[in-house]
């Protein structure tokens, strides 16, 4: 989909492309851009609205939060898999 927008810098052309943000927070588009490069571009990123964090995102954030840094200390490893009994939910 192509649109043109007039700005003080001149006319801009818009392209709709799909892509993803990688682990390094870099945008990767799924197909080559139809633009001669090297060239500066303006980027608008549309992401889905998420009302709640997934459990995986919650743990990822907690693992990188300095407030939980003490848990990386081996002295905090006071339990092992041999301690206690496994919990099995009977539902």
pLDDT bucket at 3, cuts 50 / 70 / 90: low
**Residue 70 belongs to a domain:** yes
pTM: 0.40
Pairwise CA distance, residues 41 & 33, whole Å: 11
Of residues 32 and 9, which shows the higher confidence score? 32
Pairwise CA distance, residues 78 & 80, whole Å: 7
Residue range(s) defining the domain that contains residue 14: 2-76
- Give the pLDDT mean for 16-41: 90
CB burial readout 52-89, b (16+ within 10 A) else e = eeeeeeeeeeeeeeeeeeeeeeeeeeeeeeeeeeeeee
Q: Fill in the DSSP letter of residue 64.
A: H
Number of domains in the chain: 1
pLDDT of 70 over the 70 cut: yes
- Give the pLDDT mean for 66-81: 84
**Residue 83 belongs to a domain:** no
Pairwise CA distance, residues 19 & 3, whole Å: 19
pLDDT tens digits along 10-24: 788 888 899 999 999
């Amino acid at each position: 989909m192509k649109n043109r927008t007039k700005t003080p810098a001149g006319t801009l052309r818009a392209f709709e492309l799909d892509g993803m943000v990688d682990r390094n927070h870099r945008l990767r588009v799924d197909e080559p851009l139809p633009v001669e490069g090297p060239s500066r571009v303006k980027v608008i990123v549309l992401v889905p609205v998420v009302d709640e964090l997934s459990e995986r995102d919650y743990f990822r954030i907690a693992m990188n939060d300095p407030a939980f840094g003490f848990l990386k200390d081996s002295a905090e490893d006071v339990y092992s898999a041999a301690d206690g009994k496994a919990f099995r939910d009977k539902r």
